[in-house]
Structure 1
């Protein structure tokens, strides 16, 4: 299916995310989204984009490349990323990336070590293996002591598990709900929902309309969408294979127990789906 079959871009693609949230004309969209998840004292009125590639302090340090990196008018640093699939050491990677906006604040000569707040915001198109509560999709992580009291409030990691968001249009109560609905459903919409008629979403739908793209933008989006779909297909296939593998192991264990209990082969076949040949080898 061509990207041009959709009316609006998919914001979870690299091109779509940066088109909507990573350009100067549309920074009002990023500001509004961030303000739904930031604490009241760190709400932002304006921000500027910084280069999204950060180098280490010396040539031996590895490069860090962010989706978006911006600085609030009061000096707060924001790393904002779309994460489309699980990866090894994802949390380690988040910590590592956050170290660059911290280190760049160092001043030459006499310096008090005072730091501006650093936020890492991850919009995740997957669910954490170790955070499976269905109603808990927003995670705000910060340094706390043994009594669960905040030890340092200038370093925060905010993760949103998008697959856990299942509200329908009529259930959208907050601005945060509306943004998650956009992330999840924008590319499948043909018209602006009634709940998304205010000015901020008017700007978003205008920026997201594929018909208004230049030929170069359309080509770039086609490629970005293809990459997104290819990755999603790999992830979905892997998940399905993992599910089947787990199911097979469970059925083999059940079959062994039934066989040890003297259950007839026909009954074991019925309850496990294994063949007579497979069961005879157990």
Structure 2
């Protein structure tokens, strides 16, 4: 049998969890995710942007997130992040707010707004603790009193899982080990713990044998690697130049105050350099805006 595709690739992930025929797989995964944080299980979901064969990995309009809605109207967004794009917390809040506010039509009451849940599955460490599943809500600092239940953000970090930690009972960790790429020799135990995983595994095996799916996977994988490399190169170069210029300005102005001002100016110059490098690499304006803090209009002027 050919080598299995990586289920962390967002294209493959959506094929497994975001297609109509695998809606039961998504429901089982979501219920284990919510159970892990103490929430009640869902009985039914609607996939709002199901995968279709028209989705192309290199089409910039394609969305490989999964959007779902419960019977009660709760909105759920599941996103797989293979590489660190930085500022994930701000990016998460930005897209959460767009999803939350987009519910309201003209003339509708704020009471119509439903809870929005974001689930970020990360292939890198982000939260400074050892927990692989962290859940955030909006609560008062001292008393822990919840202001509203409408915001819920999950960060699931696959890199915090041990490859040897195959559980002996059902639960979220079984799904995460599958996503992380657990050795196939453990699959039997994982699917015994979580029977619906068998369908996810069968789907992955089918995709791995399918030439068209493999071609799309490899195209998407190349795009993701190129994007990550371009971002890393642009960031490193920009920061290095910013630090160097900041040091020069600081030395010219002398002592601590001059160094501080020079560093600030140098860092700003570095930020400009990062943006220019990203523009030169052809990254989307929206992505550059998220990563650098410049507005799209400012980037257009910079690119003129």
TM-score of the two chains, using structure 2 as the length reference: 0.63
- Report the secondary structure of 1:37's partner residue: helix
Shift of 1:136: 1.3
Higher relative contact order (CA 8 A, sep 6+): 1
Whichever of the two has the greater Rg, that structure is 1
Query: What is the alpha-carbon distance in structure 1 between the residues aligned to residue 86 and residue 187 of structure 2?
Result: 38
Q: How large is the Cα RMSD of the aligned pairs?
A: 3.4
Shift of 1:93: 0.7
The correspondence for 1:149, drawn from 145, 151, 158, is: 145
Indicate the residue corresponding to 1:184 in structure 2. Answer: 180
Indicate the residue corresponding to 2:74 in structure 1. Answer: 76
1:139 aligns with 2:134: yes
* Range 229-238 or range 25-34, more displaced: 229-238
- Render the CA deviation track for 1:220-272: whole Å, top value 9, x for unaligned: 1232334455667889999xx9xxxxxxxxxxxxxxxxxxxxxxxxxxxxxxx
Is the 2:68–2:77 Cα contact (8 Å) retained in structure 1? yes
Go from structure 1 to structure 2 and tell me whether the alpha carbon gap of 1:210 and 1:123 turns closer, same or farther (over 3 Å shift): same
- Report the secondary structure of 2:147's partner residue: strand
Query: What is the alpha-carbon distance in structure 1 between the residues aligned to residue 187 and residue 207 of structure 2?
Result: 15
- Report the secondary structure of 1:193's partner residue: helix
Go from structure 1 to structure 2 and tell me whether the alpha carbon gap of 1:211 and 1:150 turns closer, same or farther (over 3 Å shift): closer
Indicate the residue corresponding to 2:47 in structure 1. Answer: 49
Shift of 1:209: 0.7
Query: What is the alpha-carbon distance in structure 1 between the residues aligned to residue 25 and residue 223 of structure 2?
Result: 25
Query: What is the alpha-carbon distance in structure 2 between the residues aligned to residue 237 and residue 210 of structure 1?
Result: 36
* Range 34-43 or range 174-183, more displaced: 34-43
- Report the secondary structure of 1:160's partner residue: strand
TM-score of the two chains, using structure 1 as the length reference: 0.68
Go from structure 1 to structure 2 and tell me whether the alpha carbon gap of 1:216 and 1:146 turns closer, same or farther (over 3 Å shift): same
Moved over 6 A (4+): 231-238
Indicate the residue corresponding to 1:27 in structure 2. Answer: 23
Q: Any stretches of 5+ residues in structure 2 without a counterpart?
A: 51-60, 237-304
Query: What is the alpha-carbon distance in structure 1 between the residues aligned to residue 154 and residue 46 of structure 2?
Result: 20
Indicate the residue corresponding to 1:209 in structure 2. Answer: 205
Is the 2:29–2:172 Cα contact (8 Å) retained in structure 1? yes
Indicate the residue corresponding to 1:85 in structure 2. Answer: 83
Shift of 1:44: 1.6
The structure richer in helix per residue is 2
Tell me the number of residue pairs that the alignment of Structure 1 and Structure 2 aligns.
Answer: 224
Query: What is the alpha-carbon distance in structure 2 between the residues aligned to residue 194 and residue 166 of structure 1?
Result: 16
Go from structure 1 to structure 2 and tell me whether the alpha carbon gap of 1:233 and 1:110 turns closer, same or farther (over 3 Å shift): closer
